[in-house]
Amino acid sequence: MKSLELRRLCEGLLVRRHEQWLKQWYGKPLADIESGSSLTDLLREQHFCNYIVWGYEDHARRRDVPASHTVKIKRGIDKWNQRRNDMMERLDLHTLAAIGKRISPSAALHSESFGIMLDRLSIISLKLRHMRINASRRDDAALAAECARRCTILEEQRSDLLSCLRDLLDDVVAGRRRVKVYYQLKQYNDRRLNPHLRGAACGCNKK
C-alpha cells in the first residue's frame, strides 16, 4: 500500500537517507537537483533545500564582507526557503493522496502536518552532522564535550519525532486522527502582497 511507504521509511531508512544525502552533497557540492514526483524524490528535494539554506545562513552571519554580499545571501535564503515551504506542501499532498479515503472527516484534527514533521527531521539531521564535526574537534576539549552532549540531545529529539510521526501515520490510517495540508501562504516574495517589493509606487517608503 502506498500509504505505508512513508511509515516504512520512518523505521530508520529515512534517517539513513538523510545522512547519506548530506555526505554526498558535502563531498561533491551541487547547485541544484532535479525535481521528481515519487516520495523519495520529494524527501530528497526537501532535504536539499534545507542543506542549501543551512549554508546560506552560515554565510549570512559573517561580519567581514560588504553589505552587498549579505543582501545577495539573504535573497538566496528567501528563494530556497520558498521552495522549502513548497516541499512541505507537496509532501502533505502526496501523503494524504496515498492514505486516501481512509482519512476520517470526524476524527480529531492534528495541528502539525506530515510535511512539517518531515522538515523538522531534515533539519535535525543537518544539526547532528555539524554538531558531530564539532564534537570531534581536538583544539577545544571543552567545546567538543559540550557538542557531544548536544548530539545526545539531538539524537533523542530525532528519535522522539520519528516515533511521533509513526504514531500519527498509524492513527490517521486507523481513523483516529486526521491532518490537512498546511499551506504556508508566504507573502514576502509576492510583489502583489509585499508592498516593499513595489517600492515608491505604493507609497510604503513615505513617512
The full set of domain ranges for the chain reads: 3-190
Quick count: other Cβ atoms within 10 Å of Cβ 206? 6
Q: What does the block give as the cell for 143?
A: 567545546
Q: Which of 128, 119, 109, 132 is nearest to 161 (CA)?
A: 119
Q: Is the pLDDT of residue 202 over 60?
A: no
What pLDDT is recorded for position 167?
Answer: 96
Backbone angles phi, psi at 189, to 5 degrees: -95, 0
pLDDT of 89 over the 60 cut = yes
Residue 201 has pLDDT above 90, yes or no: no
The mean per-residue pLDDT over the stretch 70-76 comes to 91
Q: Give the model's pLDDT for residue 128.
A: 98
Which phi-psi region, left, alpha or beta, contains residue 175 (left: φ > 0; alpha: ψ -120 to 50)?
A: left
Q: Are 25 and 51 in contact (CB under 8 A)?
A: yes
Distance (Å) of CA 89 to CA 53, 111, 161, 181, 182: 18, 14, 19, 6, 6
Q: Which of 49-53, 102-106, 130-134, 161-165 has the lowest mean pLDDT?
A: 102-106
> Rounded distance, CA 6 to CA 34, Å?
21
- 4 falls in which pLDDT band (50, 70, 90)? low
**Quick one: cell of 118?**
518531515
Which residues contact residue 30 at a Cβ distance below 8 angstroms, ignoring those fewer than 6 apart? 48
Q: pLDDT band for position 205 (50/70/90)? A: low
φ and ψ at residue 64, rounded to 5 degrees: -105, 20
pTM for the model: 0.90
Burial of 22 (0-12, 13-18, 19+ CB in 10 A): buried
158 confidence band (pLDDT: 50, 70, 90): very high
Task: Provide the mean pLDDT of the chain.
Answer: 92
Q: Give the span between the Cα atoms of 179 and 170, in whole angstroms.
A: 12
